[in-house]
Chains A and B, each alone.
Chain A
Amino acid sequence: MKPAGFAYHDPQTVAEAVALLGRLENARLLAGGQSLMPMLAMRVAFPDHLIDLNRVEGLDGITMDQGVLRVGAMTRQRSIERSATIREACPLMTEALTHVGHLQTRNRGTIGGSLCHLDPSAELVTVAAALDATIEVAGPEGQRDVAIADFPLGFMTPALAPEEMVVAIRIPLWPREHGYSFMEFARRHGDYAIVSAATLLVLDSAGRIARASLTLGGVGAAPLRVTTAETALVGEAPTPALFRAAAACCEGIEAMEDPQAPAWYRRRLAAVLSRRALERAWARATGEAA
């Protein structure tokens, strides 16, 4: 369980890192290392060059500007989990992080690493999709934005050119009084979810649903926005029957099959978790649940 040999690079700036990516063949970026290091140890990844981002300046930090939250790619999961700013403005992310790995892995793991590793069940990718996040990407030509919906190209494959890297994620914030919930089912605490559901709701002054977001993780290569359910919710008065009907949309989705769970099981989990998450989000939106 030792990595094969590689050449090690530890650039200090994004420009240096991008230049190395452009110059070196078969190079991989090392962020928090909580996925790549096991892949090196098990020799399912064998880069000739490892470009360590841990000494690059300016890649971590949490800032808020005009209703948009910006989190640097190298911000540790643990820093996000403990951020009062994020707990206040984007509590969905705080709740999701309690399901990510363990204390020791969250102390190293980064948000940019989770996004680029792009595991189908990764909580932070599901949350990014639920929040319509934008990914900031740096490359030799400068910087560009990629919408989270366009970010997954396929199974564990982000829409990045070989010489590009993620530098931050931007999240447009929901109104302060929104309801939210992140729920998942995993075999053990800290495992990747078999299925997860992330939801956000906003009620109007009459108590009807003004805006809704429902996203499933773990059902396919990329997070799935259940737009049929979102459409069914908006404009309606929230009731348990409405949530049951909206969650039933999940019974018709295409779901992947793997040794952990067959597709029918994922569909059933998706419907149950969605209904529970919607009910919790509603209770939070009305102030009946913390």
Chain B
Amino acid sequence: MSETRCVALTVNGEHREAETPVRQHLADFLRGTLGLTGTHVGCEHGVCGACTVLVDGHAVRACLMLAVQAAGHEVTTVEGLSLADGTLHPLQQAFCDHHGLQCGFCTPGMLITLVEFLAEHPAPSEEEVRVAISGNVCRCTGYDSIVAAALAAARALRGDAA
């Protein structure tokens, strides 16, 4: 059983086409086939949130989607957040400033989840941020600094002075 299909999709604004086994999930496809290893693979059964990517602007678990299902869709990974000149996305900058990374394993999933959340909730409460990242597990348990970073990023994105 090694059925494969050619998948054409947009990843971080670029058209990509590649062959994939039909049973391969999107996270393995992004990492192994397209070489975008920023998306992390943790539990591979939809619990940890490390593999979160945006599909058509919505945060989804890339381990719970087959690569073939992404054909024709637009995927954004953590590599797509910063600008071409290396300038970090305000969320990434806030994670640096507020020690929101410890081992860094959960970081891509946290960032991607928060990108969608902050776009919809530009001025969230701390409680709302905690619920928003409830589907992302940080095993360093550095949640306080992640929440602080998210709130700082929200202020930066709104254009408020820090």
B45 near A42 (CB under 8 angstroms)? yes
User: Given that A37-B63, A41-B63, A104-B61 are known contacts, is A7 also in contact with B117, CB under 8 Å in the complex?
Assistant: no
**B23 with A104: CB separation less than 8 A:** no
Q: B134 contacts A189, CB within 8 Å? A: yes
Is A157 part of the binding interface, using a Cβ–Cβ cutoff of 8 Å?
no
Q: Are B25 and A103 in contact (CB under 8 A)?
A: no
A251 to chain B, nearest CB (A): 32
Asked if residues B135 and A102 are in contact (CB atoms below 8 Å), the reply is yes
User: Are B69 and A78 in contact, with the CB atoms below 8 A?
Assistant: no
Q: Which of A217-248 contact B (CB under 8 A)?
A: none
CB distance from A127 to the nearest CB of B (A): 20
In the assembled complex, B99 has its CB within 8 A of some CB on chain A: no
Q: Is the CB of B25 within 8 A of A37?
A: yes
- Whether A37 touches B64, Cβ cut-off 8 Å, given contacts A1-B44, A2-B44, A102-B135, is yes
Does any Cβ of B come within 8 Å of A67's Cβ? Answer: no
When each residue 102-114 of chain B gets 1 if its CB lies under 8 Å from chain A and 0 otherwise, what string results? 0000000000010
A7 to B24, CA, bound (A): 12
Q: When the two chains form their complex, are residues A189 and B131 in contact, meaning their CB atoms are under 8 A apart?
A: yes
Contact present for A38 and B45 (CB under 8 Å): yes
**With A6-B1, A8-B22: A102-B49 Cβ-Cβ less than 8 Å:** yes
B117: chain A residues at CB < 8 Å are: 103
A38 near B69 with CB under 8 A, answer no
Partner of B22, one of A6, A33, A107, A189: A6
Q: How many residues of B contact A (CB 8 A)?
A: 35
- Is B85 among interface residues, defined by CB-CB distance under 8 A? no
Complex alpha-carbon distance, A190 and B137, angstroms: 13
A contact face: mostly helix, strand, loop, or mixed:
loop
Q: Is B59 an interface residue (CB 8 A)?
A: yes
Please encode chain B, from 49 to 86, with 1 for each CB lying within 8 Å of some chain A CB and 0 for all others: 10010010011110111101100000000000000000
Q: Is A101 an interface residue (CB 8 A)?
A: yes
Residues of A within 8 A of B113 (CB): 103-104
The residue in chain A whose Cβ has the minimal distance to the Cβ of B61 is A104
Verify A8–B64 contact, CB threshold 8 A.
Answer: no
- What CA separation (Å) do A147 and B13 show in the bound complex? 46
Given contacts A2-B44, A6-B23, A7-B1, contact A38 B64 (CB under 8 A): yes
Q: Once the chains bind, are A5 and B2 in contact (CB under 8 Å)? A: yes
> Which residues in window 68-114 of A have CB below 8 A to B?
78, 101-105, 107-108
Contact B135 A104 (CB under 8 A): yes
> Closest CB of chain A to B135's CB: distance in Å?
3
CB within 8 A of B60: which of A1, A41, A104?
A104
Please, how many angstroms separate the alpha-carbon atoms of A103 and B131 in the complex? 9
Bound-state CA distance A6–B22 (Å) is 8
What are the residues of chain B within 8 A of A108 when measuring CB–CB? 60-61, 64-65
Chain A residue, CB-CB nearest to B114: A103
Q: A3 — nearest CB in chain B belongs to which residue?
A: B23
Output the residue of A38, A102, A104, A108 with the most chain B CB within 10 A. A104
Interface centre among A4, A38, A101 (most CB of B within 10 A): A38
Given pairs A8-B3, A8-B5, 7 additional interface contacts (CB within 8 A) = A4-B1, A5-B3, A6-B1, A7-B1, A38-B45, A50-B22, A104-B113
Q: What are 12 A-B pairs at a CB distance below 8 A?
A: A2-B23, A2-B24, A4-B23, A8-B3, A33-B69, A34-B64, A102-B134, A104-B59, A104-B60, A108-B61, A108-B65, A188-B134
